Structure 1
Amino acid sequence: MDVRTLCLGVLTLGEATGYEIKQVFEGAFAHFHAAGFGSIYPALADLAAEGLVTVTEVEQEGRPDKKIYRITPEGLTRFTEALCRTRPRERVRSEFMIQMFFAALLPPARIEDALKIKAGEYREILADLDRREAEAEGEIPPGPRFTLEFGRAVYGAALAHVETRGPALVEALAATAARNDGDPS
């Protein structure tokens, strides 16, 4: 789903500034979708031009005016239609998985380092999910609860795989490297 459509989705939760929308991408969406100001603000401008959101400018002393965005009824319809049309697929792009696939071409120590880094990242993501749940005010609605638990399941399984299978990969690579060092050909 594109950033424009996701901005509409965030605005179904209530009015927000561009900064607050970015906070949703960095918080609730962090483990499954990323977007920066460079894509959020142009998306909001396009949505406003199409009449899918309204913009209210609020004066701030000593700072530029703050823009508050609200979804329009047409914007809500457009977002709901997009949700209905969206095929539930996932796209994964992972430099880590590319390194692991071609691990035999790298020194075992580099693979060991990559595994440690990735395990640390997975632990950070899991801690962030736990923190967001602890900081949630009141009951977490079913949809956000599902995504939080899904994130825990995926990243927990990934961490377990890295921790249990990673050492065997490094060991196998080291053994292959040792055999190749002794090979006179």
Structure 2
Amino acid sequence: MSLRYAVLTLLDIEPGSGYDLKRRFERSVSHFWSASHQQMYRELHRLHDEGLLDCTEQPQAGKPDKKIYSLTDRGREALRAWVQQPPPAQKIREPFLIQLFAGHHLSREQAQDAVQRQLDQHRALLDSYLEQNEKVLHSDPKLQEQYWLAHQTLLLGIEAERTWIEWGEKMLRKLGEPDKQ
């Protein structure tokens, strides 16, 4: 998958500016896909140049015009064709696991600190996802039904964070045992 289809998907739900899109991205697909603000803008321009997006300018008082992007028929068709193709299974790409793989260069305390930092980050992510889930559960039932599959991705993110936390807590217990390096 690439960022282009995440952008097309989010604009299929609702047109918006680059800023709107980034905020929407952070509240939704960021639990399984990452992109910087710059990457998002580059992709918007690319999709517009390819005719998959329309762009209208909305005047703003005292500021540059705001560009609002929306899918063209061609963009909607590209999204529809892509979503029907089976994607390959994605392998985990986690920098922390590479560091841990080379963990024999760490003291026990350094390893414990590294695991604790990861554990804290995953707990914060879980809290964020649970908060997002509450918003979904209290949203309009028609929207819940329409975006039921999208909600399932958030639920998977919640389970993934719970798994990371469980694993991190086990790691800390193991690192606390006297026979561990």
Question: Which structure has the greater CA radius of gyration?
Answer: 1
Q: Which amino acid aligns with 2:12?
A: T
In structure 2, the residue matched to 1:100 is 100
Q: TM-score, normalised by structure 1?
A: 0.87
Distance in 1 (alpha carbons) for counterparts of 2:171 and 2:114:
13
Q: Distance in 1 between matches of 2:128 and 2:83?
A: 27
Q: CA deviation at 1:86?
A: 4.4
Which SS does the other structure have where 2:30 is aligned? Answer: coil
Moved more, 53-62 or 130-139: 130-139
> Which deviates more, 16-25 or 97-106?
97-106
* Mapped pair 1:119 → 2:125: no
| Alignment gaps of 5+ in structure 1 | 178-185
Per-residue Cα deviation, 1:14-63 (whole angstroms, up to 9, x for no partner): 11111111112211112111112211112111211221111010000111
> Is residue 179 of structure 2 the alignment partner of residue 175 of structure 1?
yes
Query: Given the two structures, how large is their TM-score scaled by the length of structure 2?
Result: 0.89
Report the counterpart of residue 12 of structure 1 in structure 2: 12
Mind listing any 5+ residue stretches in structure 2 that lack a counterpart? none
1:160 is matched with: 166
Letter in 1 for 2:49: A
Equivalent residues of 2:57, 2:66 under 8 A apart: yes
Superposition CA RMSD, Å? 1.7
Deviations 1:89-111 (CA, angstroms, capped at 9, x unpaired): 22422221112222222111111
- Specify the SS of the correspondent of 2:65: strand
1:18-57 equivalences under 5 Å are 18-57=18-57
